[in-house]
Structure 1
Amino acid sequence: MEENSPQDKSQVVVDEVHNSGACDNSMTIRPHHPTLISSNVTCYNTLPYNQRAEKHITTISETPQTSQKALKSPSKEAWIDAMSKELENMKHMKLWDMIVLDPGYKLVGTTWVFKRNKDHSNNIIAQMARLCVQGFTQMPGIDFNKTFPPAGRFNSLCTLIAFAEENSLDFHQVYFKSAFLNAPLTETVYLSITQGMNQYQGKKCLCLNEEIYGLKQAPLAWYKRLRDWLVTVGLKSCTLNLCVFFSSGKRATWLYVHIDDIATFSSNVEAFKLEIKQEFEIKDLGRSDLMLGVKISQESQNLTLD
């Protein structure tokens, strides 16, 4: 066999590479350049990420996170008015007594939580302030014991909606105003006085008579308060889901309880809502179109979940 010359061997290698497709003459190699994120240089993209995020949050939401910020904000007067209304409401409900604290007792902290309510066009329609307990300052076995209430299951709500459609029941939603403030307190809890409670300055502490927002045991206490009342008006809790209540007879009624909201399915829902109003202060939301993040469309007798 005749040996290939060095030139012939190199030609064979070139041919093999070409035939295998490892070399593609149509491929163009371009130099790598960083991806241009934005050509518009602003105060946001020239800041470090954490500062940019903080500035963005401050821009889109001017709701103060503390009472100090609320009292220094441009909406100072509105926040002061909201805090005054909250304290007046609590005073009217006799939620606490002003006392001199005995030695050895620990105070539970309090704080203000602020909120702006907006309409569908993002216009501010109300500014609200809520006095809350700092639950992390409570001591187990002293300030609270049991804390967890029953939780409603989403599939139970879906089942009730299907049941309502099948049996031609009305579906309305009711919101309980200041729900936790209606629940009795079984433990002895002493609150500290925070900024914005000027009328209580000079007093040692506040001794709670009822539950308020932020207490670890408040959700459970409210559930028991609502459950006990529902039993007195003839409803029973479902064995498999303690957040579902029902009554049979001439006025069939089913309830789905989610903290301070209830979905009411009834053949005479207006009569049942009148009973609720005699016991609690509520906001009647009427035919519900949104509950637990689920859009509920109701046309005639047809219900649709989105």
Structure 2
Amino acid sequence: MHSPISSHTIAPITTPHTNNAPASQHSDITHDCITRKSERVKKPPAYLKDYHCMTTHTTHSSNVSNSNSLYPISQHLSYDKLTPKYKSLSLAITSNQEPSTYEEAAAHECWRKAIQDELTALDQNRTWCLTELPKDKKAVGCKWVFRVKFNPDGTIERHKVRLVAKGFTQVQGVDYDDTFSPVVKMTILRVMLALAAAKKWHLKQLDVNTAFLHGDLDKEVYMKIPPGLAVSQPGLVCKLQKSLYGLKQASRQWNIKLTQTLLDAGYKQFFDDHSLFIKKQSQSFTAILVYVDDLVLTGNDIGEINSIKQDLDDKFKINDLGDLKYFLGMEVARSNSGIHIYQRKYTMDLLRDFGYLDCKPLSTPFDYSQKLSKESGTILTDNTVYR
């Protein structure tokens, strides 16, 4: 059994004087013992060969962590292999913080204007009418959700706000019936990206403005007055005339309308994934992947891609985001060598949420000597954190 090694400073080794050696000789021996260092070549432990140990590089490009931190993460990330445009985008989507409440957003002019613009758009679309709440009905709550949209070069394109209904208070059979709406599988997304990289296909992205407002409601739904909306008298509620984000049936109603639009345009719905639409004509091939109101378009016919963009814009009003750069938390960088996918923002958000953004970095942050057992350890109070 080896004795533990202390982390304290080791005291100098002293040799008692003898009658046969002068004091100066003893001091030389002591000095040699203290300064002598091993010349053995150091190698990483053999057990680490089963791990991918990432070598860190120092950079000062990111300011996402606290400058007072002992281990700022900005000193352990490298962006040397990114082009200036991709680098600007990666840093911008992380450094710009988004408000989580209406009160936080209301303190900034840019967000106040965005809220008023969204209320105006909802009013012009006749999303609701103000009325008194019937005695046999219960109004659902609502909240604002805030997002910063970026241009491909990292500059801010717009401050986007969305009014979301708290659909978890809806009652099945009373406020809604069917809720299922397909979204593209990650396997299909990876396959299409691989094909686009291998065949040099175009890769575009767009999203639909207020997509859920195009869905039709078949049930009576009442919603509380959203923050920021001025009403003439207290006690009024919003009777929804069109679907709204957050409602149980909202995504399904929107998906039905979008699917019919793509089918009318000559696209065929893929059997194994109903969120993939394909159109083939002679040598032309175009595919559309749908994730709620975000669409990825790829294929070898840029004319057909531009044509379907125009059709969707005429019917729904879209935002053409250009080349695919950021989708479902994944940052996409394309070069002559292929398509690189990374999740920097997603990882940063996880570290920030759990308080690990300024922890000391390790190549393998795992205690390999610890023995795990289901009979030992502390029971988690909230097991969803682990999941």
Question: Aligned equivalents of 1:165 and 1:156: distance in 2?
Answer: 14
Of 178-187 and 113-122, the range deviating more from structure 2: 113-122
SS in 1 for 2:116: helix
Q: Select the residue among 169, 183, 193 that pairs with 2:225.
A: 193
Cα distance, 1:134 vs. partner?
1.3
SS in 2 for 1:84: helix
SS in 2 for 1:172: strand
SS in 1 for 2:168: helix
Find out whether 1:239 has 2:271 as its counterpart: yes
Q: 1:80 to 1:252 in 2, by over 3 A?
A: same
Cα distance, 1:230 vs. partner?
0.7
Find out whether 1:67 has 2:102 as its counterpart: yes
Q: 1:211 to 1:271 in 2, by over 3 A?
A: same
Q: 1:102 to 1:146 in 2, by over 3 A?
A: same
Work out whether residues 183 and 221 of structure 1, in 8 Å CA contact, stay in contact via their aligned partners in 2. yes
* Offset from partner CA, 1:170-197 (integer Å, 9 cap, x none): 2211111221122112221011113311
Cα distance, 1:280 vs. partner?
1.6
Cα distance, 1:225 vs. partner?
1.5
Alignment-derived partner of residue 292 in structure 2: 259
Q: 1:196 to 1:276 in 2, by over 3 A?
A: same
Of 198-207 and 130-139, the range deviating more from structure 2: 198-207
Between structure 1 and structure 2, the one with the greater Rg is 1
Q: 1:203 to 1:299 in 2, by over 3 A?
A: same
Find out whether 1:217 has 2:253 as its counterpart: no
Cα distance, 1:260 vs. partner?
1.2
Q: How does 1:56-205 map to 2 (within 5 A)?
A: 63-71=98-106, 73=107, 75=108, 77-117=109-149, 126-165=158-197, 169-199=201-231, 201-202=233-234, 204-205=236-237
* Offset from partner CA, 1:83-105 (integer Å, 9 cap, x none): 21111000111111222333211
* Offset from partner CA, 1:243-284 (integer Å, 9 cap, x none): 111122244321111121111123122222122211121111
Find out whether 1:275 has 2:311 as its counterpart: yes
* Offset from partner CA, 1:75-134 (integer Å, 9 cap, x none): 2x4433222111100011111122233321111112223345567998876444322211
TM-score, length of structure 2 as denominator length: 0.57
Question: Aligned equivalents of 1:265 and 1:206: distance in 2?
Answer: 40
Letter of the structure 1 residue corresponding to residue 243 of structure 2: E
Question: Aligned equivalents of 2:200 and 2:153: distance in 1?
Answer: 34
SS in 2 for 1:91: helix
Q: Select the residue among 287, 302, 306 that pairs with 2:323.
A: 287
SS in 2 for 1:248: strand
Work out whether residues 255 and 264 of structure 1, in 8 Å CA contact, stay in contact via their aligned partners in 2. yes
Q: Let me know the Cα RMSD of the aligned residues.
A: 3.4
Letter of the structure 2 residue corresponding to residue 105 of structure 1: K
Question: Aligned equivalents of 1:208 and 1:255: distance in 2?
Answer: 31
Alignment-derived partner of residue 228 in structure 1: 260
Q: 1:148 to 1:23 in 2, by over 3 A?
A: closer
SS in 2 for 1:279: helix
Question: Aligned equivalents of 1:91 and 1:82: distance in 2?
Answer: 14
Work out whether residues 294 and 305 of structure 1, in 8 Å CA contact, stay in contact via their aligned partners in 2. no
Question: Aligned equivalents of 1:295 and 1:189: distance in 2?
Answer: 37
Q: Percent identity?
A: 26
Q: 1:23 to 1:277 in 2, by over 3 A?
A: closer
Q: How does 1:11-50 map to 2 (within 5 A)?
A: none
Letter of the structure 2 residue corresponding to residue 90 of structure 1: L
Q: 1:23 to 1:127 in 2, by over 3 A?
A: closer
Q: 1:64 to 1:244 in 2, by over 3 A?
A: closer
Question: Aligned equivalents of 1:293 and 1:91: distance in 2?
Answer: 31
Gaps of 5+ in 1: 1-21, 33-42, 46-59
Q: 1:154 to 1:201 in 2, by over 3 A?
A: same
SS in 2 for 1:149: coil
Letter of the structure 1 residue corresponding to residue 276 of structure 2: V
TM-score, length of structure 1 as denominator length: 0.71
Work out whether residues 95 and 209 of structure 1, in 8 Å CA contact, stay in contact via their aligned partners in 2. yes
